[in-house]
Structure 1
Amino acid sequence: MVKRFRTAVQFLLLAFVIGATVVLIGAGGNQTKITKVTSQVQPTAAVGLNQRYQKSRTATVFLHGYNGGAGSTNYLIKQAEQAGAAQKALVVHVYKDGVMAFKGYWHKSIKNPMVQVVFQDNHAPQKTQIYWLHQVLVQLKTKYGVTSYNAVGHSLGANDIVNQALKYGTDQALPTLQKVVTIAGPFDGLTGYLNAETEAQTQTVAAKPVRFSQHFAAMLKQRQNFPQHVKLLNVIGDTDNGFNNDGFVSVASARSVSYLLRNKLAQYQEDFYSGATAAHCALNQNPQVAKSMISFLW
């Protein structure tokens, strides 16, 4: 029984690694263009937020990762609402047929609005996901008056956010990026997830990858486009399984964003978590991660 379970776990890990690697390197089909934008948005009265938090019209965009969906970011959004730090305003669905649908509530004076983005094709190539995210941000500025935004991404959603800023960082059609929270982001790909170094050893060495994945090397070439004055919180997990990873993403790969964006950020903060609640699909459901995210953003 134990052997069968281990085999199943290994198969799932292999499937994730293969699938996510295909997404990262850009294979997997043609890019789906946005052909139509729909809106079912109602006006809403201002929600009273907790006085301890800073209030502004800056929107915070939440994005899931490979094979993810609304469930990937629901917990983080709910925790921010319950804390009185922010309010969920919009859900943006991007469908396989190229339709982008905005649903929810909006008012020109809304404070600390949260926007949840959901890709129906959650296996789409990363270049497609980056394009979709870019189009969402353009719509937020042109139709909803959003001039600045924060972004929270889990897993490959974290990569999408950083890559979008690298590719379109100078695009005046976008709102200004202020803060980013990356959770379990495989920035140097799914490499090194069987490394034997301990978390403590990893943190004592430079964040520069030992070798650059194809994906990471491509990001390095766009460093100059990344917006100025951005603050970044990087959340990293290690399940203490002896292989220095969160079950899917190595600590080294998650840390590599600090090398990628070296001397480009106004602030860089790393939060390490260990144990079962630091697993790849547990970090975005972790109360301490939510608390740290809320404190960082608002």
Structure 2
Amino acid sequence: MKRKQPKRHHWLGKTVLSLLLLAAGGYWLWWQIGSRPIHARTYRNTNVVTVFIPGYGSNSLTFGPMVSRFQKDHATNQVTTIKISATGKRTVTGAKRYDGKNPLISVVFEDAKAPVKETRQLTALLHWLRTKHQVKRVNLVGHSMGSNLSFRYLTAQHTDAQPQVVKYISFASEFYRDPTSQLAHFPKSVQTLVIGGQIFGAKGDWAVSLAGVKRYEKELKAAGVSTSLYIYRGTPIGAYHSSLHQNPYIDAEILQFLFT
């Protein structure tokens, strides 16, 4: 004869299901509210190519979903993914031209834990865009170590043809050494937005400190660079280090800074 399952197991199962449904509903509502400003805007065509540079150990999921969202919201009509192998070979998928409305390029490094090599590969990629595709102006958007790669690129002395950097977004990043000598070479014409996250009750996004993000903005401003700061404060769903690039409020800040 089959024994009846204790009533408390049924109660526990219903409670867990209710909590999951409540969490899913809360996430949906959070996303819908955060997305409203994005859907309501009209984005101008800047004719500037925006290059997204991911962080340490990253892959196509870092910026792939973000650039797809931007395309759906009509901020762009050209999205490209460029995968760079450990040897520097480029594999291009998506748009092969960079002359549409606010073209976006999501970069994916195969060797994503080698910042010195990645900086060289980024420099070579931008040179290739300038000479082979006549890309004269770019924006750089870097997450975590991708921001540091962008900073190294911006403060290096280039001997080959490179596009002009118009805007630079650094988010979820901080300086890991004294930047004074490098900041002297940072182009003063580049407009900069620094983005950080703070989980409620924490000192940052559980990977990068809020104090470090604020110092990033402060040092750039002290060097004479036009810089603004945006801090997203919330739960780990939106404010955690690797959640910031899957956050509609961050999307809205980036789109406003780049294309409105």
**Is TM-score (shorter-chain normalized) higher than 0.5?**
yes
Q: Confirm or deny that 1:281 pairs with 2:242.
A: yes
Q: Confirm or deny that 1:229 pairs with 2:217.
A: no
Give 1:157-176 correspondences, 5 Å limit: 157-168=146-157, 171=159, 173-176=161-164
Q: Confirm or deny that 1:269 pairs with 2:228.
A: yes
Residue-by-residue CA offset, 1:65-108 (whole Å, 9 max, x unaligned): 01111101123212211221113432211111332233332346
Task: Give, in angstroms, the shift of residue 265 of structure 1.
Answer: 5.2
Give 1:211-250 correspondences, 5 Å limit: 216-217=177-178, 219-242=179-202, 244-250=203-209
Structure 1 contact 57–146 (Cα < 8 Å) conserved: no
Return the alpha-carbon distance in structure 2 between the equivalents of residues 274 and 111 of structure 1: 32
Name the SS for the 2:57 alignment partner: coil
Among all aligned residue pairs of Structure 1 and Structure 2, give the percentage whose two residues are the same amino acid.
25
Matched with 1:179 is 167
Matched with 1:22 is none
Report the RMSD for the aligned CA atoms in angstroms.
2.0
Q: Confirm or deny that 1:86 pairs with 2:46.
A: no
Structure 1 contact 237–251 (Cα < 8 Å) conserved: yes
Return the alpha-carbon distance in structure 2 between the equivalents of residues 239 and 174 of structure 1: 38
Where does structure 2 lack aligned partners over 5 or more consecutive residues?
Answer: 1-39
Task: Give, in angstroms, the shift of residue 172 of structure 1.
Answer: 5.7
Name the SS for the 1:70 alignment partner: coil
Structure 1 contact 230–265 (Cα < 8 Å) conserved: no
Return the alpha-carbon distance in structure 2 between the equivalents of residues 118 and 108 of structure 1: 18
Give 1:1-298 correspondences, 5 Å limit: 52-107=42-97, 109-124=99-114, 126-168=115-157, 171=159, 173-185=161-173, 187-189=174-176, 216-217=177-178, 219-242=179-202, 244-264=203-223, 266-276=225-235, 277-298=238-259
Relative distance call for 1:231 and 1:110 in structure 2 (3 A) is: same
Residue-by-residue CA offset, 1:102-139 (whole Å, 9 max, x unaligned): 33323464221001110001111x22111111111101
Pick the structure with more helix per residue. Answer: 2
Task: Give, in angstroms, the shift of residue 175 of structure 1.
Answer: 0.4
Relative distance call for 1:89 and 1:78 in structure 2 (3 A) is: closer
Structure 1 or 2, whichever has the larger Rg, is 2
Matched with 1:24 is none
Where does structure 1 lack aligned partners over 5 or more consecutive residues?
Answer: 1-49, 190-215
Matched with 1:39 is none
Structure 2 contact 48–139 (Cα < 8 Å) conserved: yes
